[in-house]
Structure 1
């Protein structure tokens, strides 16, 4: 059977967002059970939101895609905060928090670069 493939799956920022989602799930599994409806849920939802908004926005106009990327960026910032809180509460190590921040910085740069490209296309 032929593999079904969608164009947005080729976007590097989408692939990196999926990678971060895997990372977020791994970290969140270390959080205490008391956080299941709090920090755990928020961290995972924010991580998933980056990939969802990137894929959903890619099928729209450039202006709409830019807005979806901004929502992905907003979710990215939530992930930074969730990781920081998890570190401060002792749920994850400094190294795990730093890895999160490095991964998120890479995605952040990709989002901003793609947004700049979309804006420049609109000025042509």
Structure 2
């Protein structure tokens, strides 16, 4: 594979970012620099680190960036829970975003394990 855009995990995480942006549009304006910003930053970090790691010279470095993506994903899942708990997200919105994030999580963990096997 010669381009990170061909990775299904990158494509799915990009779709997750789009969903997150759409879901956070209705958050209160006073959250623009709080939870809204933080959720979006976490979401953006996932495909960004997948792409950045792809361009690195070694599997060790790639794994480091993929692990950053995993951390950002877990942070995002936590913040989605917070948004649901304070009624910024409906249960339906939360369930959709959380399930999408869980799909990315499973794919990302599997991808990390495959790269580890290549060592």
TM-score by length of 2: 0.95
Residue aligning to 2:91:
94
Matched, 1:28 2:11: no
Residue aligning to 1:44:
40
Q: Which has the larger radius of gyration?
A: 1
Matched, 1:71 2:68: yes
| Count of aligned positions | 117
Matched, 1:54 2:50: yes
Q: Secondary structure at the match of 1:27?
A: helix
| CA distance in structure 2 between the aligned counterparts of 1:10 and 1:25, rounded to whole angstroms | 23
Summarize deviations over 1:95-124 as a string: whole Å, max 9, x none: 1111111111111111111111111100xx
| CA distance in structure 1 between the aligned counterparts of 2:106 and 2:24, rounded to whole angstroms | 24
> Gapped runs of 5+ residues in structure 1?
1-5
Instruction: Please report the RMSD computed on the Cα atoms of aligned residues, expressed in angstroms.
Output: 0.9
| CA distance in structure 1 between the aligned counterparts of 2:12 and 2:112, rounded to whole angstroms | 16
| CA distance in structure 2 between the aligned counterparts of 1:64 and 1:109, rounded to whole angstroms | 21
Q: Secondary structure at the match of 2:45?
A: helix
| CA distance in structure 2 between the aligned counterparts of 1:54 and 1:89, rounded to whole angstroms | 31
Residue aligning to 1:3:
none
